[in-house]
């Protein structure tokens, strides 16, 4: 009897959801290598047709997929439905992005010559996914990769294998040729086998900075492989002059605690003007106290569910205590309402007095508050991180927003909007430890294909008009 070595349990209930076997990275890459030349040789319209069939199937099973996402991640069902919607919308967005950014076009045309720009797929691309958006984020790499003509080996997070399997089963049912898309289950060790396999032509990664940096090191001697890294954040939200304290607090709470704080673009640091501090912090706490934290399908609908598992919840609880023991002043304690389940209530802590604030991503519902007197100080606090994914200014004047926009070191800079909820129709990526300048979402098209420029003439006709000696006819005759 073969025992399952990957077991996915529902964070909210502890029930076993899915069991399966660790995959064989070499076999998955070999299968993709065999399939990709034929896939790449198809007209792009045929590849688009195939991904549209996949989208239609996802659409027709959207409630089933949303339920699976909620059970496997613990996020509320209303939120999983928005994730499924993003999966379906990705197809049109990717078709447009392919056409706009990486299709073919004629550059110049002269009487006997034309120059053309075309794009080619890399070959076999590995995709490593995270657990917080187990469908939307891998899908955001896979769909553009397939449209461009790559074959794919997808390793979902070992924490969300069931959703990964659902996506790949759907591609197969949609009639993608064998081997064009391959699933590989397993944890970091299997990820390492996949990324070390010389048969891949590139890696599209979404996950933590810690893993991304290790992968960057691993690929440093392989400039021949495309490497796209989408990593975490330690994102600031600045609250400045505003008459609407309630709305400011709502934007802070949404930015910090949606998806139980498990978004790469979540706000983890609230930087607030001295004079507004009491009112803003009181209102943020008041709203946070009212948030419903419950199982995904419960009624009334929860704002947020649990974090992904007990070890992650333990780590976040310890981090909150560590902030306290290093000088942080708790505004709202982080609690664990059920001992053996990873539900956490939002934790809010003032870290202004801390001498050294740790610049790490706390991937969960923890909001750190820093009080400042001057706007310049707020900007400098916002940039006081090695990460650079998202940043938001709430309130302030148009001139202050211009200053914030110009000086912020982040790939997403918003005004009077949340730090989260980025549009798939725009590029998505950050600087510093948040990415390697290969943004995803709309710009995923860019890393799924490489440009080839060709000068082309229908006939072989050439002459040298300058720099030639007169021809020595007698010699030429003797030689010939």
Among positions 460-479, residues that touch ligand NAD (CB under 6 A) are none
Interaction pattern, residues 367-406, with ligand SIN; x per rule: CB under 6 A: ----------------------------------------
Residues numbered 264 to 283 that lie near ligand SIN (CB under 6 A) are 264-265
Per CB under 6 A, contacts with ligand SIN among 98-137 are 132-133, 137
d(C-alpha 362, C-alpha 354), whole Å: 17
Site string for ligand NAD, 422-441 (x = CB under 6 A): ------------------x-
Q: Supply the minimum distance, in Å, between the C-beta of residue 22 and ligand NAD.
A: 11
Q: What is the nearest approach in angstroms of ligand SIN to the Cβ of residue 262?
A: 7
Eight-class DSSP state of 443:
T
b (16+ CB within 10 A) / e for 58-69 = beebbeebbbbb
As annotated, the active-site residues are 230, 264
- C-alpha atoms less than 13 angstroms from C-alpha of 287 in its C-beta half-sphere: 20
Tell me the C-alpha distance between 101 and 99, whole Å.
6
Q: Which residue has the tokens 């710009």?
A: 443
Q: Taking CB under 6 A as the rule, does residue 230 contact ligand NAD?
A: yes
The Cα–Cα gap between 405 and 412 comes to 9
Q: Applying CB under 6 A, does 75 fall inside the site for ligand SIN?
A: no
Q: Is 31 in the site for ligand NAD (CB under 6 A)?
A: no
Residue 239 binds ligand NAD (CB under 6 A): no
Q: Which span sits near ligand NAD by CB under 6 A: 70-78, 112-120, 129-137, 340-348?
A: 129-137
Rounded distance, CA 256 to CA 267, Å?
A: 5
* Distance, CA of 129 to CA of 139 (rounded, Å): 9
Q: Tokens 């706390």 correspond to what residue?
A: 362
Query: 3-state class of 376 per DSSP?
Result: helix
The CA distance from 416 to 420, in Å, is 12
> Which of 202, 207, 396, 427 forms a contact with ligand NAD (CB under 6 A)?
207
363 interacts with ligand NAD by CB under 6 A: yes
DSSP string for 292-353: -B--TT-SSPPSB---S-HHHHHHHHHHHHHHHHTT-EEEE----SSTTS-----EEEE-TT
83 binds ligand NAD (CB under 6 A): no
Q: Is 421 in the site for ligand SIN (CB under 6 A)?
A: yes
Q: Is 195 in the site for ligand NAD (CB under 6 A)?
A: yes
Smallest separation (angstroms) from ligand NAD to the CB of 278: 31
State phi, psi for 59 to the nearest 5 degrees.
-60, -45
Helix (H) or strand (E) holding 124: strand 124-128
129 binds ligand NAD (CB under 6 A): yes
Compute the 3-state secondary structure of the chain and give helix, strand, coil in percent, each to the nearest 5: 40, 20, 35
* 78 CB-near residues (< 8 Å, 6+ apart): 301
Of these, 422, 441, 444, 448, which contacts ligand SIN (CB under 6 A)? 422
Residue 363 site contact among ligand SIN, ligand NAD, none (CB < 5 to 8 Å, cut-off depends on kind)? ligand NAD
Nearest distance, CB of residue 133 and ligand NAD, angstroms:
6
Closest approach of ligand NAD to the CB of residue 12, in Å? 18
Residues of the shown chain interacting with ligand NAD in the complex, contacts defined by CB under 6 A: 128-133, 137, 155, 157-158, 187-188, 191-192, 195, 206-208, 211, 214, 230-233, 264, 361, 363, 440
Instruction: Please give the residue ranges that form the binding site for ligand SIN (CB under 6 A).
Output: 132-133, 137, 263-265, 420-422
């Amino acid at each position: 009897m073969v025992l399952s070595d990957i077991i996915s349990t529902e964070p909210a209930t502890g029930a076993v959801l899915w069991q399966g076997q660790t995959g064989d990275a070499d076999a998955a890459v070999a299968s993709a290598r065999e399939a990709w030349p034929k896939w790449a040789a198809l007209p792009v319209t045929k590849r688009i047709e195939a991904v549209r069939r996949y989208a239609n199937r996802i659409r027709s099973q959207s409630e089933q997929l949303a339920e699976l996402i909620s059970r496997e991640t613990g996020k509320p069902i209303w939120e999983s439905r928005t994730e499924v919607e993003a999966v379906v919308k990705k197809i049109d967005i990717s078709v447009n992005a392919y056409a706009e950014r990486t299709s073919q076009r004629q550059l110049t045309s002269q009487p006997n010559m034309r120059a053309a720009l075309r794009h080619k797929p890399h070959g076999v691309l590995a995709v490593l996914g995270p657990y917080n958006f187990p469908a939307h984020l891998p899908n955001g790499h896979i769909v553009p990769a397939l449209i461009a003509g790559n074959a794919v080996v997808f390793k979902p997070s070992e924490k969300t294998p069931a959703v990964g399997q659902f996506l790949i089963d759907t591609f197969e049912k949609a009639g993608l040729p064998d081997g064009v898309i391959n699933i590989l289950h397993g944890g970091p060790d299997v990820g390492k086998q996949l990324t070390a396999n010389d048969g891949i032509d590139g890696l599209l990664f979404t996950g933590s900075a810690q893993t991304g940096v290790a992968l960057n090191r691993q690929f440093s001697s392989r400039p021949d492989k495309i490497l796209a890294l989408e990593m975490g954040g330690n994102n600031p939200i600045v609250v400045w002059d505003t008459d609407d304290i309630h709305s400011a607090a709502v934007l802070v709470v949404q930015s910090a605690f949606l998806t139980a704080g498990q978004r790469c673009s979540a706000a983890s640091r609230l930087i607030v003007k001295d004079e507004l501090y009491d009112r803003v912090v009181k209102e943020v706490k008041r709203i946070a106290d009212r948030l419903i934290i419950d199982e995904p399908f419960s009624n009334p609908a929860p704002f947020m569910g649990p974090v992904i598992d007990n070890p992650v919840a333990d780590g976040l609880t310890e981090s909150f205590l560590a902030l306290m023991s290093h000088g942080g002043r708790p505004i709202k304690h982080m609690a664990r309402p059920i001992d053996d389940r990873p539900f956490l209530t939002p934790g809010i802590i003032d870290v202004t007095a801390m001498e050294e604030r740790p610049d790490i991503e706390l991937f969960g519902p923890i909001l750190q508050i820093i009080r400042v007197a001057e706007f310049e100080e707020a900007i400098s606090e916002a940039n006081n991180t090695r990460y650079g994914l998202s940043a938001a200014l709430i309130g302030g004047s148009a001139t202050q927003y211009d200053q914030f926009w110009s000086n912020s070191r982040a790939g997403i800079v918003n005004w009077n909007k949340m730090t989260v909820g980025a549009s798939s129709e725009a590029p998505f990526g950050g600087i510093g430890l948040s990415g390697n300048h290969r943004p995803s979402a709309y710009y995923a098209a860019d890393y799924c294909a490489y440009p080839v420029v060709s000068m082309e003439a229908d006939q072989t006709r050439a002459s040298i008009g300058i720099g030639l000696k007169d021809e020595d006819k007698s010699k030429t005759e003797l030689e010939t």
